[in-house]
Every structure is written in structure tokens, then in C-alpha cells.
Structure 1
Amino acid sequence: MARQLMKGNEAVAEAAVRAGCRFFAGYPITPQSEVLEYLSKRMGEVGGTFLQSESELAGISMIYGAAACGFRAFTSSSGPGYSLMQEGISYIASAELPCLLLDVQRYGSGLGDIFIGQSDYWQCVKNGGHGDYRSIVYAPNSVQEIADLAVLGFEKAEEYRNPVTLLSDASISQMMEPVELPEMREHDPDQFDWALKGKGTGESKRHTSVMYYMSDYDTYIQSKYREIEGKEQRWESFQTEDAELVLVAYGISSRICAEAVALSRARGRRVGLIRPISLYPFPVKAFEPLPCVKAYLTVEMSKLAQMAEDVALASGMKHPIYTKTGGTALYDSAEVCGEIEAVLSGEAKEAF
């Protein structure tokens, strides 16, 4: 299909429709409201259902119901709204239902603000709901990738019967870039033997969290997440083969870091970059074949170094870890290059 210029929020919405999603329920919040605006029209065109719910709590509960019936269900929000969804996400995960979630991050805690930021890493990757569950989390760094990961997200959600989250940010979701969208496909909600279709005859079906109390459930759920962690790690590495300092960044920060790596290489600095695409499972395999590394530098648009903890675990704490944090505005490559020079010169303070 021909490429076209689209905003990130509109591209992910259209990609979801083309992946067979026919149910959306959600509530507007900056900077993801264009998802609702787009789908409020588009869902009707394809015979789907669009609901602007009275709250995020109501919206995630509607997603639970649609997913239980085998439909490809999708909702989106930003930090404060995503917080309100946490109980519902926990229920969906415990009932082992597939769905696609989008969190377009904004800056800050509580209500936060509409500034650019990457403040939701802990909430999405470590799970803000109660209990023992994980959500697969993907971090796109372009309009094309957010569309591609929407399609992949539905597929992996159904493969593992688990919610999948796209962790975007205001830059990726608000920027316009060329994107090639997938071909339209239909999704058959009746293909799953677990999908609810009314009692009819035979044994009644239900989707509830009480399965957690089954005697063999501990072994089963541990095996499920071990399989995800073993098979579903995704990342990109840039010039890490001989790098002494390796940057780690996701989303829009990774694009800035890629330019900083190029500028530093031009100055003779042996610098590389790991870009996690899956934040859960975190790509620990990316940290294994790095024979020259002496230190890591994580770059995040948050006041606290949220991803740095996972970098410490993935690297086995074998080398010092430095962090560059901040928020409310994009870094530029010159700032990152300055931090690289501070680390290489010994002026920077270790975080771990």
C-alpha cells in the first residue's frame, strides 16, 4: 500500500482498524484525544463500535467485556487516565483475555501536565494494578513503528491471552511522518473456544480472576511468563560491537540518542546505543555480547531514572550506570553529547 503522511495517534488508530479491531471504548485526554476523534468516525465506516465512556474506569470495563467475547478490543489514554484503568487491566490479565492498550505519556505525577515526558515507565512496565501479572509492553519510536506494533500487539495478545500495551509519548503520537499501513483484514471473534457466546448448550463459560486459586495455576502462570520472557524480547543495537559507552533509550529519546552516537563517533568516541522495543520483556539478551563496554548511560525524559533499574539488572551490575533525566522538553543531541563527554571524562556521577 502507498505511503501517506499521518499523525501518530491517527496511524495507530487506523492500524488497529486494519488489524480487525471493531471495538473501542475510551475517554479523551491530552495528548491522545485524536485517537478517539479518528475512531469516532472510522469505526462506523467498518461496522465497528465506538464508545466514549463516561470515565476510564468504565472504558476498561467495556474492553473486558468485548475481549471476553473474542473481539479485538482497543483503548487508549494518557498517564492520569491510564492510572484509573489499573484495576481493570489487572482483571483482564487475571482472566487471560487479549486486548490492546495505548498510553501516550505526558509529564509528571498526579494530574501531571501536558508537557512532553516519559513518566509512565514504572506504571506500565512494572504494572500499576494489584496481583501477580505482567503486560507485554512495546515502545515505538516512529509513526511507522507505532502502526506496526499495533498489529503485532493484537497478535501477541491473542497468542498469550494477555493484554499488550503500546507505551508512546507526545512526540511520537503528535508528529506527522510517512507511514505504510497494513492491508485491511477481518477478525473472527468466534475462532476462540474460550470466547463467550451465550450459554446455549453444554458447560457454561466464564472469565474471572478466581482461576488464580486453582491448585496448578502457580506453575502454569510462571511458565507462561517465562515463555514470553524467553521468546518476545525485541530491541535494536547501534554500533555496540566496539562501544566503550553504551546509551540505552526508548521512544523519542532513542532517536535523539542515535544522532548523539553519530556525532560522538565523528569525534572518535566509541559510543553505541541499545534501543529497547519491548520494555516487558526487557531485552536482557541485548546486553550479553558487549565485550568492550565499560559503562552504560540511560537517557529518559523523567525526573527519576525509571528504566535505569532494568538496565542495571540486565547488565548484571558489571559496569557503572549513569543516567540523564529531565522532563517537560525534548533533549537535543548536543545535550546528550555533553553528558557522554562528562561520563567519558569521569566528571559524571554514577547512579548504580
Structure 2
Amino acid sequence: MKILIINGNYRSGTTWLQKILDNNKKIIICSQPFFELFKLFENYIIKTHKIAGIIDFPSGILSFKKLPTTLLYDKFIKKKHLIDIINQIITSKDKERFNHTNLKFYKFFKKKILKKNNFLSFSEVLNYIVETIIIYRGEDLNKISYVGFKEGYLTSLLPLLLKVKNCKIINMIRDPREIAYSRNYSKNSDLKDFDIRTKHPTIMIGLLCKNNMQMSEKLKKNKKFLLVNFNKLILKKKIEIKKISKFLNIEIKIKKTLINKENNKIWSANTGGNKKNGNYGVNWKTNMKNYEIAVIEKICDKYMLKNNYKKIYKDKNELNKIVSNFSENTNYLKKWSKKKYFINYDNKFINKFKI
């Protein structure tokens, strides 16, 4: 049995791919079972690197130059703290979470952790997550080739995760302007993952997308890593699915009806869209503000070109002029994202994320 992880920024098709794979008899892959573990791990790395001022920073933005494999085995996680987090999830009023990963997972996971030592490593907890997924899904392990999950914002940790034994990673990218538009301009009232009345800072979205594309470029030759382009998966399904099948050595087919295995209900694809337009992000060019487009193109720059995302602002002087006058409207931002470095464009701040 191998571990499979799907990574990618929000609105980049990770949930769709997770449902496609989870509806295959040889794969069990749930959705965002325990993001808190990866946040703990990233904060631990930040602390060990003695990086000032960015604890509780949005995950997935930092780009660490060198991460020793030993970090996987440091016993920095307190069992008591882990149990507290699990209890908070179990008693949470946010029932939408259990449509991603069933409540049974957390109850089984808690029982498993209670039997363990007082201090645990990231590697140990990751294996316990995988073991728990098998238990609560009740599948025959002899018939399963891959067990895993999809998570957003793991980009900073991908080099380390690839060092985990028998672990493969599928990383999804999408045009950053489509992601920004799909996240901040969606009018789909059925969305449960986020409040469509609020927005995420344009600079933050740009940094997340840049790091994801940059990391993909860095890891693309690793045999345990596969890059999947959302736009190609939409337009050239057969070719991309064939590529995924070869990577996993399993025949993958997209079923007409996809089931959410957490609640056994039919899953509706492309929640970032609306009933008339399944791929909501394609409208970015005519609907996004020019300064939002400019900021994203400035941040993502060469990585957009590497992935054939054509830039609107080809004149650097025009681009720099727009960006220098950029100031985010904070009225609609989520409270946690109202950080000063996401409000105005600052080159020194942008270049800080190469640690």
C-alpha cells in the first residue's frame, strides 16, 4: 500500500480530482482530514529556522531552501495538544467539515492517539492518519493500492513529504487569475467552504500561486511527483487522466456520477462555478479589477509564462506603475487575512519568502 496526497490551492480542482480517484476501487482518498497537523508542522519549521514575525502565517506561502529529513522524526507534537484539537473538531458546530471527512474518522483517530506516547513525530501522526482512514472507511486493505487525502496549502512541505516512504504527490496548478476570480467573485450561494461575501487579499493569493508553481518547477523531475494542470484537465480530460493513470499504475476512469464517500451523496462538480458556468474562473479577464490582475502578474511573473498563462501587462513600466499604487480594500477581507503586508505591495516583503 502507498500513500497518495493531492495538493493545490483552493479553486484549482483538487476536490474534483479527489472525488474522481476516491470513486476508484483501488484508491481511498478523503478530503482535508487533519489540516491542523500540517499547520503545526509548518510552524515548528518556522520556529526551528528562527524566522521572526510570521508565526500563524497563512500556510503554503513560504519557500524553505533546505529542509533536513530529520524534521519528519522530531518528537515535537504533544499528545495532549493533539487530543485537544481533535476534541474541538468533534464538538465543532461547523458540520460542513464532516462532509469532507466523516465524524467517524476523528473518533477513531482519537482512540488511536490516546494509546500513543506523550510526544509524537510528524511522521508517526501522518501514518496514524492513513491507518485511521483505512479503519473508518472499512475497506479491504488487500484490494487497495493507495490511501491518502487531499489538502490545500501543503506547498511549503512538499519536498519533505516526498521523503516519506511510499508517498506520491499529485500537485494541481491553475491560472492564478482564475483562482483569484473564482475565490473572490463567485456568486454561487451553494458554496459551503467559504463565505462568498468576503474576499482573500490579492497579494496573498498571488503568493500562494507563485509558490505552488515555483515548487512544481523544482519538483517536476521527481518520479514520486506529478503536476496536473487544471485547465488541461478541463479541456483535455482523456490525456490528463491517462497521465495520472500511468503515474499511479492504475486505470482511472471518470464516472458520470461521482459519490462523496463521506456522506454517500452524489457530488456536484466545480463548486467554484455556478449553474450556468461550471468553470467560473474563466471570466476573470472582463470582471477582475485591473490592479488585481497586475498584482498577480507581478508576483507570479516568470512562472506564469512557464505554464503558458499569457500575461495582460507586458509593459513593465505600466505594470510597476499600477502595482505601486495598489492598496487592498479591507472592507470585504476575512478578519484573519487583514495583515498589513497583504494590503500594499512591497517588493522587500514579497522577496522575503525565500528562506
TM-score range, shorter chain: 0.3 to 0.5
Per residue, is there more strand in 1 or in 2? 1
TM-score, structure 1 as length reference: 0.32
TM-score, structure 2 as length reference: 0.32
Per residue, is there more helix in 1 or in 2? 2
